[in-house]
């Protein structure tokens, strides 16, 4: 009886597995169609920037102007990396980007001791971002990067950054430079 049940179960699973055909889903059809486009072009669709900062200093990005700064930099990087087009007849993929921009100042963790007086200059920005590439209404690619500090340019760049941090001379322009590097990294994840 056990043998008959085992054979019946095995036969049923085998036949039902062979009888089903996998029809390509809309997702894979869109992905295949996009894969065959050369060169690939992109257009910004939905950009969400979340500013996280314990300290607000004059001259630095605010919740009001950070969105425009990112959109401008992303569009500039798309052009620089030849991933955008002005031709409205070309097929483009839409790009959704969610960025958490966590700004860090030297000594901000000690702010509870003496308030903002102890906080030094700009130190760094930690970026977390998610990129969705949408083609024919379907998300065909997703890329996520968490807690990345902007690349400073090798060992020399890292030493310069450490010296800047220790001297508390980081400023708003350093934050803008970090945003440019982050947007270049975001666009570099989009396939050519």
> Is the residue at 7 inside a domain?
no
Distance between CA atoms of 177 and 115, rounded to whole angstroms? 27
Contact 30, 131 (CB under 8 A): no
Block residue for tokens 């894969």 = 35
The percent of residues in the chain predicted with pLDDT above 90, rounded, is: 38
* pTM of full prediction above 0.95: no
Instruction: Kindly tell me if the per-residue pLDDT of 100 is higher than 90.
Output: yes
Residue 113 has pLDDT above 50, yes or no: yes
166 versus 36: the higher-pLDDT residue is 36
- Count CB-CB contacts under 10 A for residue 74: 23
Any domain includes 148: yes
Q: Does residue 91 sit within a domain?
A: yes
Tokens of residue 168, six digits: 């508390």
CATH code of residue 131: 3.30.160
Q: How many domains does the chain have?
A: 1
Mean pLDDT over all residues of the chain?
A: 79
Q: Taken in order 50, 56, 60, 62, is the CA torsion positive or negative?
A: positive
Closest CA to 46 of 93, 6, 89: 93
Q: How confident is the model at residue 122 (pLDDT cuts 50, 70, 90)?
A: confident
- Predicted confidence at residue 185, as pLDDT, reads 92
Residue 88 belongs to a domain: yes
Predicted local distance difference test score (pLDDT) of residue 22: 33
Comparing 22-26, 67-71, 174-178, the range with the smallest average pLDDT is 22-26
Q: Which residue has the higher pLDDT, 162 or 175?
A: 175
Give the model's confidence band at 119: pLDDT under 50 very low, under 70 low, under 90 confident, else very high.
low
Q: Which residues does 168 contact at the CB level (< 8 Å), separation at least 6?
A: 106, 120, 121
Which range of residues forms the domain containing residue 57?
26-188
Higher pLDDT, residue 102 or 7: 102
Q: Identify the residue whose tokens are 């029809």.
A: 23
Mean pLDDT of 42-46: 95
DSSP label of 86 = S
Q: Is residue 8 part of a domain?
A: no
In-domain check, residue 17: no
Confidence (pLDDT) at 16: 39
Would 54 be classed as within a structural domain? yes
Domain assignment present for 21: no
Tokens of 159: 């030493």
């Amino acid at each position: 009886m056990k043998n008959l049940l085992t054979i019946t179960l095995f036969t049923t699973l085998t036949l039902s597995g062979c009888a089903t055909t996998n029809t390509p889903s809309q997702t894979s059809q869109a992905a295949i169609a996009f894969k065959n486009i050369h060169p690939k072009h992109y257009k910004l669709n939905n950009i969400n920037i979340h500013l996280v900062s314990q300290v607000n200093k004059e001259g630095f990005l605010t919740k009001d102007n950070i969105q425009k700064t990112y959109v401008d930099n992303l569009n500039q990087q798309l052009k620089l990396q030849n991933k955008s087009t002005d031709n409205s007849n070309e097929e483009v993929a839409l790009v959704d980007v969610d960025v958490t921009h966590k700004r860090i100042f030297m000594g901000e963790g000690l702010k509870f001791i003496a308030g903002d007086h102890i906080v030094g200059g700009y130190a760094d920005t930690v970026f977390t971002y998610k990129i969705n590439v949408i083609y024919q209404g379907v998300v065909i690619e997703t890329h996520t990067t968490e807690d990345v500090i902007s690349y400073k340019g090798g060992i020399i760049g890292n030493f310069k950054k450490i010296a800047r941090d220790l001297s508390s001379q980081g400023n708003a322009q350093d934050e803008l430079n970090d945003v440019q590097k982050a947007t270049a990294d975001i666009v570099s994840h989009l396939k050519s």
